[in-house]
Amino acid sequence: MTGADSVPMGRLILVGAGPGDPDLITLRGAAALGRADIVLFDELASEELLGLASVAAERINVGKRGHDPPTRSQDEISQLIIDGARAGKVVVRLKGGDPFIFGRGGEEASACVAAGIPYEIVPGVTSALAAPAYAGIPLTDRRHSASFAVVTGHNDPGQAAKGIRWRELGSAVDTLVILMGMRNLRSLLGELMDGGTAPETPAAAVMNGTRPEQRVRVATVESLADAVETAGLKAPSVVVVGAVASLRETLSWWEVSPLFGMGALVSRAPHQASELASALRAAGAIPSIRPLIDLSASDGAEELIAIDASLAKLESYDHVLFSSSNAVRFFIEHVERCGLTGKLAEFSARVLCIGEMTARAAMDAGLRVQFILSADGGDAQAMLEEILRSSSPRGQSFLIPGSDISREVLPGGLREAGAEVDSVAFYRNRRPEVDAETLRQDLVAGALPLLPFASPSAVRHFGDLLDPASREASKRCIIAAIGKTTAAALSEIGLPAQVLPRRPGVREMVKALEEFVAERRQNGELPGWPGEEDA
């Protein structure tokens, strides 16, 4: 477009979201979501993936679930893409699996070609490959299979789908993968047997493949439909027909993950929830994201006066001490607000950080970190002891950016030792709106057997929400604390942590949970692995 009043043409980015596990999106797909002005997503898209888009991005559900009617027709979706791009927007069409494998990506790309809209394709991990892999079923194996085919079992009105020759397929390849075939499974398997596929040929159905809710049934072509019906498996499922399905018995790996199928509360602030959710999911747990803390930059008149006063004399401090990555984040936000970013590379204060994640956040922000407290028990008390042990802080000046509910362990201890300390609330820590009744019900029902906590404030907010029944239910859960300070807060509310990592950290806490649960299972103190009956 040209002319003073013209709008530069936007573009479409067709992004494959992967098979269900949000961690399986490609790096390029995640980057595209971060650039999006508009995200058109399918019904099964993960909330975590949608969270990769900017807060300002418009999110529109255009998908459907299973055989339900679509939220939008294909023509409507194509028109949304064209209208958005013509308005100069970057439109991301987020599609499950891969856009060009039964995802109508070709139709949407063709609509862009006809309308003169530029576009690009970001391939995704298709469930045809990923779901069998997570079930321990390789589609090719030189002992059993040298070829495979992927076919839709959906009653699609398209001419290509009408021409599928099911009877010939069974003998054409060693392994057959059927997507969207659960509604017609019995008749499809019957067609294969009528075409010469032996009834005793191994076959499997994988529901919710790659997710902690994954369920698998292995049977034969003759018996799979009955096995699936008895087990209650439904869409979305992937069906595999061929000798390779028998390998699951020895290659199953996902369901034996230590925390597989166990619900876990993720109470961190929204911008931090994905790290814990990802770590839990990688261990097989089902993360339930319910933020119990909400962090925001301090913006009250008195708060800003104190912040601005500390930043005005930033170069005079001997030390700036960060106790969390949140402290770093909001410190930088206020530095930028005051137009002082350029001074960060010049000021001579020693930057001290509690924890490697805090140090990484500081270094990413351009700060030169001189000391990282990362040993066992890395918390405010440990940092105070380290400072007092290394040299006397008497006469030294410290700036400690924190929240409005920060503890006084460090500032108080340093002042007692003769230091000058400005402990300034750069951000606020509040409890967001929470569906307390549903949380209590889930605790009582045993839907959240894992309760990992990453901050004392989340612990206190959690305790405030409990009634007698849910408090008793919480005592039956496996409770983990990220560090000693959080563990102390749990003890204060009468829910002591059974799990404490050797070093504070999200990944370390989840690893400690894995070890604790594995040991209890081995000792017969917990039920067997979920999904064992599917092997």
CB 391 within 8 A of CB 417: no
C-alpha–C-alpha distance, residues 464 and 378, integer Å: 27
Distance CA(192)–CA(194), nearest Å, equals 5
Angle, CA 19 vertex, CA 14 and CA 20 arms, to 5°: 110
Structure tokens at 437: 């009744």
CB 81 within 8 A of CB 108: yes
Nearest to 119 by CA among 108, 133, 132: 108
Q: How far apart are CA 170 and CA 271, in angstroms?
A: 49
Q: Please classify residue 474 by burial: count the beta carbons closer than 10 Å to its beta carbon, then call 0-12 exposed, 13-18 middle and 19+ buried.
A: buried
Supply the DSSP string of 100-116, one letter for each residue: TSSS-HHHHHHHHHHHT
Reading the block at residue 196, the tokens are 């010469």
501 CB-near residues (< 8 Å, 6+ apart): 480, 482, 483, 508, 509, 511, 512
- HSE toward the beta carbon, residue 14, CA cutoff 13 A: 25
E strands present in 2-139: 11-16, 38-41, 58-61, 90-95, 119-122
Q: Give catalytic residues, as residue numbers.
A: 42, 64, 180
